[in-house]
Amino acid sequence: MLEIKNLHVEIEGKEILKGVNLKLEKGKIHALMGPNGSGKSTLANVIMGHPKYTVTQGKILLNNEDITNASPDERAKKGLFLSFQYPSEISGITIMNFLRTALNNVKEKKMTVFEFQKFLKEKLKLLKIDESFAERYLNAGFSGGEKKKSEILQLAVLDPTIALLDETDSGLDIDALKTIAEGINNVMDKNKEILIITHYKRILEYIQPDTLSIMINGKIVMEGGKELVDQLEAKGYGWIENGV
């Protein structure tokens, strides 16, 4: 279980997160919504241990172990995964090679090229992705939808216990959105915890969150169930902001 306690975070001397409390639970999908610039990506990056951010107060606990100061690599080995809002392009490395290296880095048991090819084939099939996709260079010349597909494939291959998905839905057309949502539902199981960060309600029609938190100006200002999604759609964030 991942627990964030009274987290305060600064970047270049400016406080971005101002006391965030959040709990992810086993087998549950938690959605995090909020206006642009509220601190959602900052939270995801800090949970993953991005060196750019400074934690000035509070804690990040993973199964009651304090990981606030752990390196990103240690966190990945403990089962944390972050999919980026803006994945970078790496040419010269195929998706297949990238995924095998990444997997062998986080798991105790190493896979040979042949073992991995077989394993990857199953994952591609599960996600309904064409096999040729794995031969392409990582994110090079990918459309928005293909970049997100590659992130979901990473999610399926690395099989993390805790997945943070930052705006996995942004820039997708409706068919791509459905494919991605289906992929996420496919990899979800009773041992996983998923945090879906999103600006729009759309993806939450295909992935049902158990809990929804709303972040405004570096704080979680409201937490509720699925019904809150509809309220947001109808009224926007204004009614919450004005009440804060």
- Please identify which residue in 33, 42, 47, 240 interacts with ligand ADP, judged by CB under 6 A: 42
Output the six-digit token pair for 102.
């990444």
Cα separation of 202 and 160, whole Å?
25
Burial of 69 (0-12, 13-18, 19+ CB in 10 A): exposed
Give whichever of 37 and 225 is closer to Mg ion, judged by the CB atom.
37
Give whichever of 37 and 224 is closer to Mg ion, judged by the CB atom.
37
Cα separation of 203 and 15, whole Å?
30
| Count of alpha carbons within 13 angstroms of residue 127, beta-carbon side | 29
* Using rule CB under 6 A, residue 227 touches ligand ADP: no
Question: Which run of H or of E encompasses 21?
Answer: strand 14-24
Please identify, among the stretches 7-15, 65-73, 88-96, 98-106, the one whose residues bind ligand ADP according to the rule CB under 6 A.
7-15
Which parts of 83-112 interact with Mg ion (CB under 5 A)? Answer: none
Please identify, among the stretches 26-34, 37-45, 186-194, 204-212, the one whose residues bind Mg ion according to the rule CB under 5 A.
37-45
Of ligand ADP, Mg ion, none, which one sits near residue 42, judging by CB under 5 to 8 A according to partner kind?
Answer: ligand ADP
Please identify, among the stretches 12-20, 75-83, 97-105, 226-234, the one whose residues bind ligand ADP according to the rule CB under 6 A.
12-20
